[in-house]
Every structure is written in C-alpha cells, then in structure tokens.
A and B are shown apart, each in its own frame.
Chain A
Amino acid sequence: MTTFHTYDAVIIGAGGAGLRAAIEASDRVRTAVISKLYPTRSHTGTAQGGMCAALANVEEDSPEWHAFDTVKGGDYLVDQPAAQLMCEEAVHAVYELEHWGLPFNRTPEGKIDQRRFGGHTRNHGEAPVKRACFAADRTGHMILQTLYQQCVKRNVRFFNEFYVLDQLMVDGACAGVVAYELATGELHVFRAKAVLYATGGYGRMFRVSSNAHTLTGDGPGVLFRRGIPLEDMEFFQFHPTGVYKMGILLSEAVRGEGGILLNAESERFMERYAPTVKDLAPRDMVSRAIFQEIREGRGTGPNRDAVWLDVRHLPRDVIEEKLPDVTEFARVYLGVEPTTELVPIQPTAHYAMGGIPTNTDGQVVLGEEETPVPGLYAAGECACVSVHGANRLGTNSLLDIVVFGRRGGKHAAGFAKDADLPDLPERPEGYVRGMVDGLLNRPEGANAADIRSELQDSMQDLAFVVRTEESLRKMQEILDSLRERFERVYVQDTGKMFNTELMEVVELGFLLECADALVAAALARDESRGGHYREDHPLRDDANWLKHSLAMRQPDGSVMLSTKPVKLGPYVPMERKY
C-alpha cells in the first residue's frame, strides 16, 4: 500500500540544517520534515567545540578576518563570496540562537564567551583568536535541542523514522520524494513543490570515524542515482583527535583550551610542522603530521599507531567547566583519567567537504553554468556551497548549518509560494517498490556486514589521510567488486515492522555510491590540497587544479568527472603556512 501526501515544502533530515530550514519554511508555507531518526538523535548533537562568529566579545575580531581564515583554511578552494556571506551572517546567527534560548557559556560581564579554535586567527594569521562561541563541549547538542524546541513551539509537522529513498523529478524539476516508513514498511509518496536535503555526511565509509552509524550519504546517494552531480567529493576531513580505535571525536576545543599533542618521545611535534599556531593548525595539517610521526616510528600505543593528547597541565576548573564530555569519553571508552594520564588518539574520518552542489540560497545547481534545478535544495554537510573548500575549519560546520539552513529554507518557501503543484510521474513509487521487494524476495546472497566491513577497512587503508594513484586504483577495483556483490546482497528479515536490517542494507548502497564518487575524484585530482593529500603529487597545483570537481553517475554505471571554476575574491592564493 502506498500513502500520498502533498506539501509545499519537504525537508529531509532533522539535524541542524534541516531544523533551521524547517523553522524558516514552516512560518511561510505548508512544510513537512521527514527524518529517518527522531530529530534529537541527529548527529549535529555530537558537535562539541563551538560555532565561530566575530562577536569580538573577548578579543578584537572582524567577520573579514573570519572569512580570510575560512578561505585560507580551505586551501583556496573555497568560493570566496559564499565564505564572506557566511562569516558576515555568523554574528546574527549566534544572536538568534541566543534569543531562542541557547545556553552559551558566559563572560564575567554576561556576554557570550568565546575561545580559540584551529585555524581561526587575528588579522590574517598573526595569532590565534578567541572566536568560537560555545556551551561547554556540547555546543552541537545545545544547537540541536534549541532548534528542535523552536520546532515544537511552532508545531512543525514531522514524519519521524521515515526514510527517503528516491527523488521524483518531472521535466527536470522537483516533484517530490518517496519514503519508506520504518514502523510499518509502507511506502509514502510526498508530492512537493520544493524539497530540501539536509541528510548530513557519509563518514561511515571509513573504519575509524567520528560519525554516527546512520551517516551514510543518503541524500547525495539518492540524487547521484538520479543524475545529479556531486561536487568536490575527494575532500574529506580526517579530524586529528579521535578516540584510539573507536574514532569518537575529542574536540579541537581541547587544544583550543591549551591541550597539546605529544609523540612517543614526549615531543610536542606540532612545533615543527606549524611554528606559529602549533597544535591549533588546521585539521588536515595536524592529521598529516600525526600520520608522519607514526610512519617515522614515533607513534605510541600497542601498535605504535597513535599519539598522545595531553591535558594534564590544564586547570581543573577548565576541564570541568569547558571540557566535561570529552574527559568523560576518555574515561568511559579508554579507561584513561585525562587529568593525570595521557590520552591515546588517532585521526578519525569526520566531515565531508564535498556533496550536493548548491548556490548560497541552497538551490541545487548543475554544471559549470550552475543552473538551478527548480524546487531542489540542499544544506549542511550533505551540500557543497562551497564554504569549506578543501578543508573545513573547526566550528564552521555548525555555522554552515544555521546560515545555509536558514537561507535554503527561506528560498525554498519563497519558491513554493509562487510555484504550481507539480504533477507526479506515473507510478511514482515504482523504483523504490522494486528496490525493497527485490531485497526482501532474494532467498540467499551476500552478507551486507561483510561488504560494509571490507568497504570501511579498504577505504581506511587506501583513501584516508594519505593517498596515491596506486592506492586509489586498487580502491577502485575493490569498489567494483563490492558493488557487484552488493547486487546480490541478502536480507534475513523479511518482515515489514522496523526492518532495520533492510534499512542498513539500503544505507550501505548509498555509502557505496558516495565512495565511488570520492575515489574517482581523488584519483583524477593529481595534486595535494587541504584534506586531499596525494603522496605522489605532494604540492598544490593552482595552475591546473584551482577548480571544483563534479562527479556524475553515467547510465552505464561509470562515474564521469568534470570541473567548474572556483569563485575567487579578495584573497589571492598563497602558500599555506601557520
């Protein structure tokens, strides 16, 4: 049975970007939010350190300095007008969250307190600056709760535990989506003038990841299958400080508050790699430094594949007031007491800079001309505006979701107000019905957990912090065989109620789509920039590669690559030193 719904705007995903878009859209047009999780389970809630805005509450600061840092941190692949816009709107965005009740930490004068964060500097790189607004080390939790509270207040319509599996298009324009209801196994067709994707990242393609199990690239995967290109997929951020083996994030705020990294020889090795900002260098540089220390035999731990995070010298009140969750993670998951012991860490797959190409109004755009797809929107980690370029600065993701969630929601609502209700294609649920029934009716086949495990292990070994042409070619071969096995994947649970096994298999399919795009784009880009480090091409190559990549699934199953120019601005690319 299929149920039909009609809305002006449909938002997919209920993390920070989706909820912020929902607040904006639901005030204006009939809006529904579809989420495969309960909204408060979204991964925004795990963001820790802060959200940058040049409030200048503690130190002199300006949005222009923030924009410069964002562009430089992104290794000049950032679209500069988008970054300037984001950094200017940041100040209002923080005040708006405060007005909605977000419990920021306070200065003695009662203003929003601010702290240092990696890559954020005073006057174009002179010294670290206190720019990150924070609520202890649970800023993301507070943002998610605050935005959800505002949705409750506004009576926003949620479809919780509904999983969007297909995008409906008619004559090149958005017509709606098809969703699978987890509780019942029924399909739902949402006819909608505007659809905004806010489905988050896809870090689960790597073995060691800070990402939730549910971060599987659903939005990018759905659209990639429907011929929408994905932008800059080769740029993935590996956060330097993940809990050893598990990958759970230990916030950069630890270093912002004075924590340092040590190798096995107790050397503060970041002094050699980034003499000015040291441990507060951007994440890509710190992760590569850790990789290098480990490779040269200065790693720690049983396998010498970790380094130490040291906070023993920090005042007790700083640890308790500003880093309580992070210290608890060390205690629970590592059995380590960080006030007296060193914490073993390793880089962890953290954030996708690439994703669904959009403009600054959240409209999904095609090709070099950036032609908007009528009615189709994306915001947050699943989108690529691009404000993060080749490497995102810490705190700029929380900023991204509220700034571009708002802009996308507003534009989508404006579009929906004026547009006619689109016609639905014939038998709109047909593709999803075929996918679901195909899986449920297969009597035997490949084990999805084996495929997922091989994907994660091989991506970790071949497409992580350091890549080469050889490693990426090998990864491509592995992906071909995994995709072939995935065609025969088997689901043991044939029931309709809460078939989470079926859901996990579908998620794995989206991960494979995103990995395909990532590896193809990484192989083509024979330079090193930001989070994409090619050991066989260790230098940045602005002459050939100061441009975005676009990966597009072809009808024959291959991935076609093209490029589009970076939107430059006041900041001329220069060597990236810290």
Chain B
Amino acid sequence: MASETNELGDILDASDLRAAGAAHTVTLTLKIRRYNPEVRGDESWWDEFEIQVDPDDRLLDALHQVKWYHDGTLALRRSCAHGICGSDAMMINGKNALACKMIVRDVAPKVTVEPIRGLPVLKDLIVDMEPFFAGYRSVLPYLINDSGEPDNERRQSPEERHAFDDTTKCILCAACTTSCPIFWGDEEYVGPAAIVNAHRFIYDSRDEGGRERLKILSEKTGVFRCRTTFNCTEACPRGIEVTKAIQDVKRSILFDRF
C-alpha cells in the first residue's frame, strides 16, 4: 500500500486543505448568565461575547472559544461533545438542551445561555447535581431479581425487550427534570428523570422490584406531582417520551397492573 513518494510534503498537504476548509465563519453573540461567589458574592450577572465561529460547529465549540480565548474563568461541564455523556445540559434561548447538540447555524446570530433551573447554581453554568442524583437513587435504579441466575442468559423476547427500550436511552443529563415547573417549586419531587429510570426497570420482564418502585412513586414525592406539561418530553435530548413514561407509571399504580 506504500506509495511511490514518502515526502513530508505529502503528509503536510492535509493541513493546507484543512486551513482552506476552515475559512467560512459567522459572527455569534453569546449572552451568558454568570455567577461566581468568589468574585461577586451572591449576585449573578450577564456577560456578552462576540466571536467568529464556523456555522457547522456546536454551541459547545463556541463556548470553548469564549473560555479559551476570551474569559478563562467561564465554568461549564462537558465531556464527550456529541450528546451521550450528558454533562452539558443548559438553558439555551430559554429552553433546556445540550450545548454539544445545538449547532451554531441554528442559533446565530445571538444566543442566550443560562444554567439549568431548579438546582443550586455553584459557578456560571455549573449546578449542584447531588439533589438530582439523590432522586435517581431513591427509585432503586438497578435490576432486582432474587430468583437465581441461570448458567447463561435470562430469556427475554424482542417484544418484552422493546417494552422498555425508550427509557433505557436516558443519559441522566437532567434536562427533563430541570425543565419541570413542579420540580422548580418543590424540591421533594423526584422529577422526570428518576421516574424514567424507574420505568426502565418496572417494565423489564426480568425485574421483580416493580411493586416496590411503584410504592415509592405513589408517595407524595412521586408521579402524581406531574401535571403533564410536556416540558420534559420537549427537553429530552435523547427523544425519550418522558411524559408518556410518567403516565405509564401512573396507570400502573392506579390500576395495580402488578
């Protein structure tokens, strides 16, 4: 597979091409809600940054450009940068989304970025996730099956597998929970994401903990707080039908399907 030449020039050609491809940019103004108790105490404020950015880039790339070249103190969480790790949920133009799944061309020329609501803000776009994970842990989010394990796999038909497919997609980004008006007003409510993760096990044919989870979710911190505003479904970056999952659980409690 070796070619005739082995000049360094050949290898470097690639970088010239990349430079040519990177020429096209647009102007983007980012209005970012800031909070840094070490600097300004309890007061939050707005900063605006105007940058040049490739319209095909992610909003996360634009935030990086701000952080790397304009203001190193800007604090945000991110990791995978393609919508799987769930780190960078934020409120973008008033709606919850992942910054890494928002493309610049869809928000230019101006975008407003704030932290997700209902969890304590710690610094800029970083919120305290502990209350969120406490809700998650409260619904017993793991397979419960005390009937013993076979030598190989437990059998499950494709249809049984399909019954809980949607809720297996959850990445725990908190976009749904922090879009919920009930959650904003009531920190006791476990919130949509916790219910999604309960759903994932309640309807898994291999699980035996459904009754226990339904009991937890029938309490006053559970599913009946939901007022079906559908904010959660709209906010979910994985396209999970969150409100439907909550309704499934409500129905199972009311009609005792277990």
Contacts and interface: CB of A to CB of B under 8 A. Distances in A.
Interface of A: 37-38, 40-43, 45-46, 55, 94-95, 98-101, 103-112, 135-136, 138, 141-142, 145, 149-150, 152-153, 183, 207, 212-214, 245-246, 248, 273, 288-289, 292, 295-296, 302-305, 325, 329, 332-333, 335, 447-449, 457, 460-462, 466, 468, 470-471, 474, 491-493, 495-501, 535-536, 538
A468 B72 contact: no
A492 B86 CA distance: 27
Given A40-B85, A332-B103, A466 B11 contact: yes
A303 B153 contact: no
Contacts of B151: 95
Contacts of B137: 152
29 contacts: A37-B87, A41-B77, A43-B80, A46-B84, A95-B151, A98-B154, A100-B143, A101-B204, A103-B165, A103-B168, A104-B153, A107-B158, A142-B168, A145-B170, A212-B79, A212-B81, A213-B78, A213-B79, A213-B80, A303-B18, A303-B21, A333-B58, A461-B15, A470-B8, A495-B38, A497-B38, A500-B76, A501-B67, A535-B2
Contact of A305 (B14, B67, B133): B14
A449 B68 contact: yes
Contacts of B2: 535, 538
A99 B85 contact: no
Contacts of A468: 6, 8, 11
A95 B152 contact: yes
A65 to B, nearest CB: 19
A526 B161 CA distance: 51
A141 B12 contact: no
Secondary structure at the B interface, as helix, strand, loop or mixed, is loop
Interface of B: 1-3, 6, 8, 10-12, 14-15, 17-18, 20-21, 36-39, 56, 58, 67-69, 71-73, 75-87, 101, 103, 122-124, 126, 129, 133, 137, 141-143, 145, 149, 151-158, 160-161, 164-165, 168-172, 201, 204, 206-207
B103 A110 contact: no
Contact of B8 (A302, A474, A491): A474
A536 B79 contact: no
Contacts of B207: 101
Nearest to A453: B68
A461 B69 contact: no
B153 A112 contact: yes
A266 B2 CA distance: 23
A473 to B, nearest CB: 10
Given A101-B143, A303-B18, A109 B73 contact: no
A183 B127 CA distance: 11
Contacts of A499: 75
Given A37-B85, A40-B171, A95-B152, 20 more contacts: A41-B86, A45-B171, A109-B155, A110-B160, A141-B169, A150-B142, A152-B141, A153-B142, A289-B1, A303-B17, A325-B84, A332-B101, A460-B15, A462-B11, A471-B11, A493-B72, A495-B39, A498-B75, A498-B122, A499-B75
B84 A45 contact: yes
B168 A497 contact: no
A261 B10 CA distance: 23
The 5 closest A-B CB pairs, nearest first, are A101-B143, A492-B72, A449-B68, A110-B155, A149-B142
Contacts of A40: 85-86, 171-172
Contacts of B76: 500
B11 A333 contact: no
A120 B155 CA distance: 25
